[in-house]
Amino acid sequence: MSPLLVLLLVPLGAILAIILGRFPARSTAGIAALLNLVLSLGLLWNYPAAQGGYAYVMDYPWVTMQGLPPIRFHLGADGISLPLIFLTGIVTVAAIAISPGNIRRSSEYYCYLLLMSLGAMGAFTSLDLFFFFIFHDFALIATFLLIGIWGAQNRQFASFQVTIYLMAGSLILLAGLVALVMAVPPAARTFDIVSLQGYITAHPLAVSTQNVIFPLLLVGFGILVGLFPFHSWAPPGYASAPPAAAMLHAGILKKFAIYGMIRIAIPMLHDGFESCKYVILALLLGNFLYAGFVTMAQKELPTMIGFSSVMHMGYLFLGVACWNIIGVTGAVILMVGHGLSAALLFGLSGEITHRSGENRFAELGGLAKSAPVLAVLFSFASMASMGVPGLANFAGELLVFFGSYSAVPPLIFFGVVAVYGTVITAIFQLRAIKNVFYGPMPMRFEPMPAPELVTPGAEIVPVPGMTDVSSLVEHGPYVLLILASLVIGFMPFLLIHVVEPSVSLLPFMR
C-alpha cells in the first residue's frame, strides 16, 4: 500500500460520506482537501530527490482478460508528477474554500469538485495508461456537470460545446494510446507505462508507425490543453464555468496533457516527435501571437482570463519541445506556477464578477477604492501571470527561455517570441487592472453611505455597493496561493532539485 493510494481514497471517502452519510458537504470536502494538501506536501518533502525515479510505488495486476492487454493498478510518483500532485492539493483547497456555502444543490456541487480533484490526482499518480486515461475522464465528466448546472450565463451552450470538444479530444487521445499499445508485438502488449517504456526503449517502433501515432496523441493532448488551433472551447467554457471549476480545470486538469506529452508521447514516440517538432513549434506561435492578440482585444474579464490561459500554454509547449533538461524542468515548474496564477485569476475574476455584478471592462472601474484588498490580490495574480521576478512563473519561464537557447538546434526565434509573449501578457493584465480597479468608479459601486451621514431630507438612492474580501475566510485562499507562488518564486531551487533529476532520467533527454 502506497501513500499515493491515500491521496485517492481521501476524496473518494469524502464523496461517499457526503452522498451516503449525509455529512455536511462543504466542511467534509474542505477537510478532505486539506488532508490531501498536507499529505502531498509531505510526499514532496520526503521524496528522495537526488536520485530521481519513481517512489511510493504500488503495483497490482488488475485485469487479465483474453483480448485485452494486461492492465495493472500501478501507482508511483517521481519528480515530475509530485509537483503536480502538490499543485492539485493546494488548488483544490483554494477552490473549495472560495465556493459559497449556500450554493444550491451543495452536496452535489462539492462532490463534483472532489471528483475533479480525485481525477487529477489519479491521472498524475497512475503509471498505467488505462488508469491514466480514465481518471482524467472522471474529472472531465465532473467538469461538464459543474459548468452545466452551476455555470453563469450561456451555460447550456458552453457546457455542451466543452463536452463535445473535450470528449472528441479524449477519444482521439484514446485512439492514440490504444494504437501505441497495439503497435508492439502481442506478447509485449501492456497498458503499464513503465513496462511499455522499457520495451519501446529496447525495441523502438518503426518511424512510419510513430509518425502515425504521435500526431494522434498530439491532437488529443492538444485539444485537452487548448493548443492553437484546438483552443476555441476554452475561453467561453471558462467564462461560464463556476470559478471553482475553472480554477480546477485551468489550474490542474489541463496540465494533464502537458504531463502526458512529457511522460508518454515524447519518450515513447521520439522519432514521431522529431518529425512533428516544427509543427508543434508553429502551432505554439499561434498560442503566443494569435491568442495573445485576441486576449488584448477582449472586453470582458472572464473571457480575457480564459484566453490568457490558452496563450500561456505556448510556454509549456515550448519548454517541452526543447526536450532538454533545462527546458523540460522549466515546463514542469511553469506548470505549477501557471496552475497557481490561473487559479488565482479565475477565482478573483469570479469574486469581482460576483461582488460587482458586472464583468465588462467598460462598466467597471475604480474598484480599488471600495475593494482595496481585492485590488492587491488581483495585482499579485496579474504579476504572477506576467512573469514578474519573485513569483513562480518567472522561474519557469526563465528556464524555458534558456532551454530554447540551448536546444539542439537552437530555438532562439521561438524563445524571442516567448519573451515577446510576456510583453503581451503585461499589456492585457495591466489594462485589466487599470480598467477594473482604477479610473473613475461608476456611481453604483460607491459604498453604501452610513445612515447618520445622510443629510436629512436628501433623497436616498439605494445602490448595490461593492464589498471587499474582508475576512480571513474570504481572502485566505488567495493569500495561500500567492504565498505558494512567492515561495517558489524566491526559492525555485526547492522545486528544481526535485524536478531536475527525474527529468534527466527521461529517454532521449539532452
Partner 1 sequence: MLPVSSISYLAPEILITIWAMVLLLLEAFLELSPRAVAALALAGIGVTFLITLDLDTTSTLFWGGMCKWDGAAKFFHLFFLVTAALVIWMGDEVQWPVSHGGAEFAILPLFTTAGLMLLASANDFMLLFVALELVTISFYILVAYQRRSLVALEAGVKYLILGGLSSAFLVMGVAYIFGLTGHTRFDLIWYRLHHHDLPAGVAFGLLLVLTGIGFKIAMVPFHSWAPDVYEGAPNSITAFLSVGSKAGGLIILMRIVLGVFDNPGGSAVWIPLLTIGAIASLLLGNLAAIPQRNLKRMLGYSSIGHTGFILVGIIGASVSLTGKIDFFSNDAATGQVAVTVYLVSYLLATFTCFIVLAVLERRLPGLEIHHLAGLSQRSPLLAAAFALALVSLAGVPPLSGFIAKLLVVLVAWHRGLYTLLGFVIFAAVAAFYYYLNPIKTMYWSEPLDDTPIRLNRATTGVLAVLIALLIITGFWAQSISVLVSGATLGQNSSPSSAAVALVQH
Positions in the binding site for partner 1 (CB under 8 A): 62-68, 71, 105, 133-134, 137-138, 141, 145, 148-149, 155-156, 159-160, 163-164, 167-168, 171, 175, 178, 182
Strand ranges (E), 181-284 = none
Nearest approach in angstroms of CB 136 to partner 1 is 9
Contact 367, 352 (CB under 8 A): yes
Q: Which three cell numbers stand for residue 39?
A: 499529505
CA distance 368 to 388: 21
Q: Which residues, listed in sequence order, are joined to residue 63 by a DSSP beta bridge?
A: 71
Nearest approach in angstroms of CB 108 to partner 1 is 8
Q: CB-wise, 67 or 409, nearer to partner 1?
A: 67
Nearest approach in angstroms of CB 148 to partner 1 is 4
Strand ranges (E), 392-501 = none
Nearest approach in angstroms of CB 343 to partner 1 is 25
Q: CB-wise, 179 or 388, nearer to partner 1?
A: 179
Q: CB-wise, 150 or 402, nearer to partner 1?
A: 150
Contact 340, 90 (CB under 8 A): yes
CA distance 319 to 227: 14
Q: CB-wise, 68 or 207, nearer to partner 1?
A: 68
H/E element holding 55?
Answer: strand 55-65
Nearest approach in angstroms of CB 157 to partner 1 is 11
Contact 301, 357 (CB under 8 A): no
Nearest approach in angstroms of CB 331 to partner 1 is 27
Q: CB-wise, 169 or 396, nearer to partner 1?
A: 169
Which one, of 231, 222, 255, lies nearest residue 116 by Cα?
255
Q: CB-wise, 160 or 278, nearer to partner 1?
A: 160
DSSP-assigned letter for residue 126: B
End-to-end Cα separation, the chain, in angstroms: 35
CA distances from 1 to 9, 12, 492 (A): 12, 16, 32
Q: CB-wise, 219 or 418, nearer to partner 1?
A: 219
Nearest approach in angstroms of CB 34 to partner 1 is 27
Return the amino acid letter for 445: F
